């Protein structure tokens, strides 16, 4: 990995403008770069916290990974010239591992730990709030530059610079890019939703959501609540 990040929940004070993103908020999004090894447990890095435990964290989303190469592309967007490793609230900034090549179920060793890709990251309004770009979460979803989550199969120490070493590929048909396509862009394709829901390595929350869609594709919920400010 290129860099390692973790952070405690913070109370962010009002910034003084009338914009929604400058109101006080409570978040674990702003993480700090680590220079020493950190213990990786089944719930994530020791010392890392999430303010919204209903939608973030847990065994299926223990570690958030984001490809560091994407930041050069985001830097071309107005308001994002300063984004760099850690800017999207990830725990691992990766190198050489992309949505088009990483697959759900892929197993890696990293340091003394063993991890598995569980699902794509679903961008939410907190990205927009952090960087004050109103449609940033929507841009992430549309481009497919989402990153992904890991579950922890074996706990252990991890450190900045540790490589994610591929050990096993269980579901080569389900790249992160294809999963994003199914979830966000082919919402009425019940057969495809059902096929992805049947992938045993996919996170439980995605399997439930996709299984419901396969049964009733005409009742797909809007993503507005996740993508727009509360």
Task: Give the DSSP letter string of 106-123.
Answer: -EEEETTEEEEEEEE---
pTM here is: 0.92
Phi/psi of residue 131, nearest 5 degrees: -110, 0
**What's residue 226's pLDDT?**
58
Give the DSSP H/E element, type plus range, for residue 6. strand 3-6
> Quick check: is 203 in a domain?
no
> Quick check: is 56 in a domain?
yes
**What's residue 124's pLDDT?**
86
Residues 6+ apart with CB under 8 A from 17: none
Terminal alpha carbon distance of the chain = 33
**What's residue 221's pLDDT?**
64
Count of CB atoms situated within 10 Å of the CB of 139: 18
> Quick check: is 28 in a domain?
yes
Residue pair 23/229 in contact by the 8 Å Cβ criterion: no
Residue pair 84/71 in contact by the 8 Å Cβ criterion: yes
**What's residue 72's pLDDT?**
97
> Quick check: is 194 in a domain?
no
> Quick check: is 213 in a domain?
no
Where residue 65 sits, what CATH number does that domain have?
2.40.33.20
Mean pLDDT of 8-31: 80
Phi-psi region of 111 (alpha: psi -120 to 50; beta: other; left: phi over 0): left
Distances (CA, A) of 45 to 11, 28, 48, 57: 20, 13, 5, 10
**What is the C-alpha separation between 119 and 122, in angstroms, rounded?**
9
**What's residue 228's pLDDT?**
59
Mean pLDDT of 165-193: 96
Please identify which residue in the block is written with the tokens 């992430």: 140
The domain total for the chain is 1
**What's residue 88's pLDDT?**
97
Domain limits for position 44: 3-171
State both tokens at 127: 């990205």
**What's residue 168's pLDDT?**
98
**What's residue 70's pLDDT?**
98
Range with the poorest average pLDDT among 41-50, 122-131, 144-153: 122-131
Beta strands 92-94 and 63-67: pairing type?
parallel
* 69-123: pLDDT as tens digits: 999 999 999 999 999 999 999 999 999 999 999 999 999 999 999 999 999 999 8
3-state helix, strand, coil in the chain (%, to 5): 25, 25, 50
> Quick check: is 139 in a domain?
yes
* 101-112: pLDDT as tens digits: 999 999 999 999
| Nearest partner of 198 among 213, 186, 185, judged by Cα | 213
């Amino acid at each position: 990995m290129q860099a390692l990040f973790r952070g405690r929940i913070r109370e962010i004070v009002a910034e003084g403008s009338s914009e929604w993103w400058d109101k006080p908020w409570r978040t674990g999004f702003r993480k700090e770069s680590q220079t020493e090894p950190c213990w990786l447990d089944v719930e994530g890095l020791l010392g890392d916290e999430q303010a919204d435990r209903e939608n973030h964290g847990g065994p299926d989303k223990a570690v958030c990974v984001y490809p560091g190469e994407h930041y050069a592309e985001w830097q071309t967007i107005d308001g994002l010239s300063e984004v760099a490793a850690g800017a999207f609230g990830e725990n691992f900034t990766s190198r050489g591992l992309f949505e088009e090549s990483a697959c759900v179920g892929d197993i890696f060793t990293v340091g003394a730990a063993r991890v598995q890709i569980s699902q794509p990251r679903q961008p939410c309004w907190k990205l927009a709030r952090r960087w004050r770009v109103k449609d940033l979460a929507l841009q992430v979803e549309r481009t497919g530059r989402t990153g992904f989550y890991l579950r922890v199969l074996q706990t252990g120490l991890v450190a900045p610079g540790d490589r994610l070493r591929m050990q096993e590929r269980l579901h080569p048909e389900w790249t992160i890019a294809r999963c994003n396509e199914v979830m966000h862009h082919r919402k009425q394709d019940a057969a495809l939703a059902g096929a992805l829901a049947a992938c045993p390595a996919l996170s439980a929350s995605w399997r439930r959501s996709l299984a419901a869609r396969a049964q009733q594709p005409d009742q797909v919920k809007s993503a507005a609540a996740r993508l727009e400010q509360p």
